[in-house]
Amino acid sequence: MRNYLKNLSVKKGFTLIELLVVIGVLGVLAAALLVTINPLEQLARGRDSGRKSTVDQLGHAVEAYYVANSLYPAVGIPGWAAGAATWQGGLQSAGEVKIVSNNPAYASGYAQTCAAADFNHGNYCYGFSNGNPANAVVYGRAESLSEWSKAGCTGTQVAWEVWSSADGRTGLTCTANATTYPAVGITGLE
Protein backbone atom coordinates (compact mmCIF):
# COMPACT_ATOMS: atom_id res chain seq x y z
CA MET A 1 0.00 0.00 0.00
CA ARG A 2 2.87 2.36 0.77
CA ASN A 3 4.39 1.78 -2.65
CA TYR A 4 1.04 2.52 -4.29
CA LEU A 5 0.66 5.80 -2.40
CA LYS A 6 4.31 6.64 -3.11
CA ASN A 7 3.76 6.07 -6.86
CA LEU A 8 0.67 8.30 -6.80
CA SER A 9 2.56 11.16 -5.25
CA VAL A 10 5.37 10.90 -7.81
CA LYS A 11 3.06 10.89 -10.85
CA LYS A 12 2.18 14.56 -11.59
CA GLY A 13 0.81 16.43 -14.63
CA PHE A 14 -0.80 15.31 -17.88
CA THR A 15 0.50 13.12 -20.64
CA LEU A 16 1.17 14.57 -24.07
CA ILE A 17 -1.84 12.69 -25.48
CA GLU A 18 -4.15 14.16 -22.84
CA LEU A 19 -2.91 17.67 -23.59
CA LEU A 20 -3.38 17.20 -27.34
CA VAL A 21 -6.93 15.93 -26.83
CA VAL A 22 -7.82 18.95 -24.66
CA ILE A 23 -6.27 21.37 -27.19
CA GLY A 24 -8.19 19.65 -30.01
CA VAL A 25 -11.51 19.91 -28.14
CA LEU A 26 -10.89 23.60 -27.36
CA GLY A 27 -10.06 24.23 -31.05
CA VAL A 28 -13.33 22.63 -32.17
CA LEU A 29 -15.30 24.68 -29.63
CA ALA A 30 -13.56 27.89 -30.70
CA ALA A 31 -14.27 27.19 -34.38
CA ALA A 32 -17.94 26.47 -33.62
CA LEU A 33 -18.22 29.69 -31.63
CA LEU A 34 -16.60 31.71 -34.40
CA VAL A 35 -19.03 30.31 -36.97
CA THR A 36 -21.97 31.07 -34.66
CA ILE A 37 -20.89 34.64 -33.98
CA ASN A 38 -19.85 35.45 -37.59
CA PRO A 39 -17.81 38.59 -36.92
CA LEU A 40 -18.23 39.97 -40.46
CA GLU A 41 -22.01 39.85 -40.12
CA GLN A 42 -21.77 41.52 -36.70
CA LEU A 43 -19.70 44.35 -38.20
CA ALA A 44 -22.21 44.74 -41.05
CA ARG A 45 -25.07 44.87 -38.51
CA GLY A 46 -23.29 47.62 -36.61
CA ARG A 47 -22.75 49.68 -39.76
CA ASP A 48 -26.41 49.14 -40.76
CA SER A 49 -27.54 50.28 -37.32
CA GLY A 50 -25.58 53.51 -37.77
CA ARG A 51 -27.00 53.96 -41.27
CA LYS A 52 -30.57 53.50 -40.08
CA SER A 53 -30.07 56.04 -37.28
CA THR A 54 -28.48 58.58 -39.62
CA VAL A 55 -31.12 58.10 -42.32
CA ASP A 56 -33.77 58.67 -39.65
CA GLN A 57 -32.05 61.83 -38.36
CA LEU A 58 -31.55 63.22 -41.86
CA GLY A 59 -35.19 62.43 -42.65
CA HIS A 60 -36.30 64.36 -39.58
CA ALA A 61 -34.09 67.28 -40.66
CA VAL A 62 -35.72 67.23 -44.11
CA GLU A 63 -39.13 67.17 -42.43
CA ALA A 64 -38.16 70.06 -40.13
CA TYR A 65 -37.12 72.04 -43.20
CA TYR A 66 -40.51 71.27 -44.74
CA VAL A 67 -42.34 72.50 -41.62
CA ALA A 68 -40.35 75.76 -41.63
CA ASN A 69 -40.57 76.41 -45.40
CA SER A 70 -43.69 74.54 -46.64
CA LEU A 71 -41.63 72.65 -49.23
CA TYR A 72 -39.00 69.95 -49.19
CA PRO A 73 -35.40 71.01 -49.77
CA ALA A 74 -34.38 71.38 -53.38
CA VAL A 75 -31.87 73.39 -55.29
CA GLY A 76 -32.33 76.96 -54.09
CA ILE A 77 -32.56 76.46 -50.31
CA PRO A 78 -30.25 78.77 -48.33
CA GLY A 79 -26.66 77.66 -48.78
CA TRP A 80 -27.57 75.05 -51.36
CA ALA A 81 -25.14 74.88 -54.26
CA ALA A 82 -26.21 73.67 -57.67
CA GLY A 83 -24.09 70.51 -57.30
CA ALA A 84 -25.54 67.19 -56.16
CA ALA A 85 -22.92 66.75 -53.45
CA THR A 86 -24.26 69.45 -51.14
CA TRP A 87 -27.74 68.47 -50.01
CA GLN A 88 -26.62 67.92 -46.41
CA GLY A 89 -24.64 71.16 -46.54
CA GLY A 90 -27.84 72.93 -47.56
CA LEU A 91 -29.64 71.46 -44.54
CA GLN A 92 -26.70 72.52 -42.38
CA SER A 93 -26.84 76.08 -43.71
CA ALA A 94 -30.57 76.15 -43.06
CA GLY A 95 -29.87 75.11 -39.44
CA GLU A 96 -31.54 71.69 -39.64
CA VAL A 97 -28.36 69.65 -39.03
CA LYS A 98 -25.21 70.56 -37.13
CA ILE A 99 -22.75 68.33 -38.99
CA VAL A 100 -22.68 66.59 -42.34
CA SER A 101 -22.94 62.80 -42.02
CA ASN A 102 -20.75 60.32 -43.86
CA ASN A 103 -21.91 56.76 -44.46
CA PRO A 104 -19.63 54.11 -42.92
CA ALA A 105 -17.52 52.19 -45.44
CA TYR A 106 -19.24 49.20 -46.97
CA ALA A 107 -17.78 45.70 -47.04
CA SER A 108 -16.37 44.65 -50.39
CA GLY A 109 -19.07 43.77 -52.89
CA TYR A 110 -21.43 46.49 -51.65
CA ALA A 111 -21.60 49.89 -53.22
CA GLN A 112 -23.69 52.92 -52.39
CA THR A 113 -24.91 54.85 -55.38
CA CYS A 114 -27.86 57.18 -55.72
CA ALA A 115 -30.47 57.33 -58.45
CA ALA A 116 -29.42 59.70 -61.22
CA ALA A 117 -32.05 62.30 -60.27
CA ASP A 118 -31.18 62.15 -56.54
CA PHE A 119 -28.59 64.00 -54.49
CA ASN A 120 -25.65 62.13 -52.93
CA HIS A 121 -23.58 63.49 -50.06
CA GLY A 122 -21.49 61.37 -47.74
CA ASN A 123 -22.99 58.31 -49.44
CA TYR A 124 -26.46 59.12 -48.17
CA CYS A 125 -29.02 59.82 -50.86
CA TYR A 126 -31.90 62.30 -50.96
CA GLY A 127 -34.55 62.71 -53.59
CA PHE A 128 -38.23 62.64 -54.43
CA SER A 129 -40.20 59.44 -54.83
CA ASN A 130 -41.26 59.15 -58.47
CA GLY A 131 -40.03 62.72 -59.01
CA ASN A 132 -42.89 64.08 -56.87
CA PRO A 133 -41.60 67.00 -54.74
CA ALA A 134 -44.32 66.21 -52.17
CA ASN A 135 -42.72 62.83 -51.37
CA ALA A 136 -39.15 63.14 -50.11
CA VAL A 137 -36.93 60.15 -49.34
CA VAL A 138 -33.53 59.73 -47.68
CA TYR A 139 -31.86 56.35 -48.16
CA GLY A 140 -28.75 54.23 -47.85
CA ARG A 141 -28.10 50.63 -48.81
CA ALA A 142 -28.21 48.00 -46.05
CA GLU A 143 -25.51 45.34 -46.19
CA SER A 144 -26.16 42.81 -43.39
CA LEU A 145 -28.02 39.58 -44.03
CA SER A 146 -30.24 40.23 -41.01
CA GLU A 147 -31.49 43.55 -42.46
CA TRP A 148 -31.92 41.87 -45.86
CA SER A 149 -34.10 39.15 -44.33
CA LYS A 150 -36.02 41.61 -42.07
CA ALA A 151 -36.95 43.57 -45.20
CA GLY A 152 -38.32 40.39 -46.76
CA CYS A 153 -35.89 40.47 -49.67
CA THR A 154 -35.45 37.36 -51.79
CA GLY A 155 -33.02 36.21 -54.45
CA THR A 156 -30.89 39.07 -55.74
CA GLN A 157 -33.03 41.84 -54.24
CA VAL A 158 -31.29 44.66 -52.36
CA ALA A 159 -32.31 46.02 -48.93
CA TRP A 160 -32.36 49.76 -48.24
CA GLU A 161 -32.65 51.82 -45.05
CA VAL A 162 -35.20 54.46 -46.07
CA TRP A 163 -36.90 57.48 -44.53
CA SER A 164 -40.03 58.36 -46.46
CA SER A 165 -42.11 61.51 -46.01
CA ALA A 166 -45.11 59.66 -47.41
CA ASP A 167 -44.82 57.01 -44.67
CA GLY A 168 -43.52 59.47 -42.08
CA ARG A 169 -40.97 57.02 -40.73
CA THR A 170 -37.76 55.11 -41.32
CA GLY A 171 -37.68 51.46 -42.25
CA LEU A 172 -36.49 48.82 -44.65
CA THR A 173 -37.59 48.17 -48.19
CA CYS A 174 -36.40 45.92 -51.03
CA THR A 175 -35.76 46.68 -54.66
CA ALA A 176 -35.09 44.35 -57.56
CA ASN A 177 -31.36 45.10 -57.68
CA ALA A 178 -28.69 47.63 -56.74
CA THR A 179 -29.59 49.93 -59.63
CA THR A 180 -33.31 50.07 -58.77
CA TYR A 181 -33.55 52.73 -56.10
CA PRO A 182 -36.08 53.09 -53.30
CA ALA A 183 -36.52 56.70 -54.36
CA VAL A 184 -38.43 55.42 -57.35
CA GLY A 185 -41.69 53.73 -56.44
CA ILE A 186 -41.45 52.88 -52.75
CA THR A 187 -44.00 50.16 -52.24
CA GLY A 188 -43.87 50.16 -48.43
CA LEU A 189 -41.58 50.05 -45.48
CA GLU A 190 -41.17 47.03 -43.25
pLDDT digits (tens, 9 = 90+) for 116-140: 777 777 788 888 876 677 788 899 8
Cα(167)–Cα(135) distance, integer angstroms: 9
Closest CA to 102 of 148, 152, 35, 51: 51
Q: Is residue 11 part of a domain?
A: no
Percent of the chain with pLDDT over 90: 16
Q: What confidence tens digit (pLDDT) does each residue in 46-67 have?
A: 999 999 999 999 999 999 988 8
79 pLDDT tier (thresholds 50, 70, 90): very low
The answer to whether position 181 is within a domain reads no
Residues ≥6 apart with Cβ < 8 Å to 118: 84, 125, 126, 127, 128, 181, 183
| Domain ranges, residue 163 | 42-175
**Tally of domains in the chain:** 1
Instruction: Note the pLDDT of residue 53.
Output: 92
Enter the pTM of the model: 0.75
5 located within any domain: no
